[in-house]
Amino acid sequence: MNKVKFVYNPYSGENLIISELDKIISIHQQYGYTVVPYRISSEYTLDIAFEDIENDYKYILIAGGDGTVDSVVNYIKERNINLPLGIIPVGTANDFAKFIGMPMDIEEACKQILESEPLSVDVGKVNDKYFINVASAGLFTDISQRTDTTLKNNLGKLAYYVKGIEQIPNFRNIKVKVTSKEVDYTGDMYLILVFNGQTAGNLNLAYKAEVDDGMLDVIIIQAGMLRDLIPLFISMLRGDHLEEVTNLLYFKTDKLHIECDEDILTDIDGERGPDFPLTIECIRGGVKMLGVLKTKTPPKNKSRVLAKGKIDIKRAASK
């Protein structure tokens, strides 16, 4: 009988997975699989989870949020484990799982995985660390790290918005230099987001992103008058296209370099990222994924940053 390594985080979301373990095992048995579960915690790490990986394992099933998926991706990439991954989205943030079309219902998610073929999807890489959904730097990037686990479980995504509002009085300009084949930007910003996925905090920001195009979607919120942020955030919350929005750059690239001398944190899928400088690249087809419903390319719109030619943007700091 074929084996499935099942890695689950009992603390993800509202601890939903704990009451669903029997259902997951039962569904897999119906499809001819033996589930070998592993409960991750601070005491029991992924090193132990994969000690018994052999040829009879057919795929790795992950139950958790973006952070749990990120941890597994880093582990298997570092150790050249080439098994496909399947995701059961039970975390507070399930942005990447939603991006690839995974249903929130656990039974439906299992069946979608089991009835699919592996698809090679892109992963991002920041210096020597991989990420599956988004890497960011600037304001708001430490929200997940600062948000209490109990608050996350009780309020869900609302907890992140509450913490975000708390940071508004601390807004300041951050000097940054961003270099890629497509764009050079030297100036002040509030936030930069580099997407391998499409959403952050359930906001569909990188609406041009595709799961296997070999490109990252970069959004830079430039520093300016604070009053200009209000229409920008309204547009982001409504899911509007962002090309014509003031103080925002959106472009696609397969590699970029970010320099910043200020003392700010970086974030990778809700966990602390490396220090500056950052080299961020897309690893095309970096992992195999099960259950993927391929995203469609959105309609073409006039973009503020064109794919052809390199744009040099130098912007004086706004007071």
The fold of 129-314 is Tumour Suppressor Smad4 (2.60.200)
The yes-or-no answer to whether 2-121 and 129-314 have a common fold is no
Residues whose CB falls within 8 Å of the CB of residue 203, separated by 6 or more in sequence, listed in order: 236, 237, 239
List the Cα angle 213/216/222 in 5-degree steps. 150
The predicted pLDDT at position 86 comes to 98
CA dist 298 and 34 (Å) reads 40
Q: What is the pLDDT of residue 246?
A: 72
Per-residue pLDDT tens over the stretch 63-75: 999 999 999 999 9
pLDDT score of 237 more than 70 = no
The third-level CATH classification (topology) of the domain covering 2-121 is Rossmann fold (3.40.50)
| Tens digit of each residue's pLDDT (9 = 90 or more) over 101-130 | 999 999 999 999 999 999 999 999 999 999
**pTM for this one?**
0.85
Mean of all residue pLDDT scores within the chain: 84
Instruction: Show me where the domains of the chain are located.
Output: 2-121, 129-314
pLDDT of residue 308: 35
Q: Which residues of 126-160 are buried (b: 16+ CB within 10 A; e: fewer)?
A: beebbbbbbbbbbbbbbbbeebeeeebeebbeebb
Inter-residue contact 253 to 179 (CB < 8 Å) = no
Asked if pLDDT for residue 179 goes beyond 70, the answer is yes
C-alpha 191/C-alpha 202 separation (Å) is 17
What's the CA angle centered on 181, arms 201 and 98, to 5 degrees? 20
pLDDT score recorded for residue 47 = 87
Phi, psi values for residue 244, rounded to 5°: -100, 10
pLDDT at 159: 46
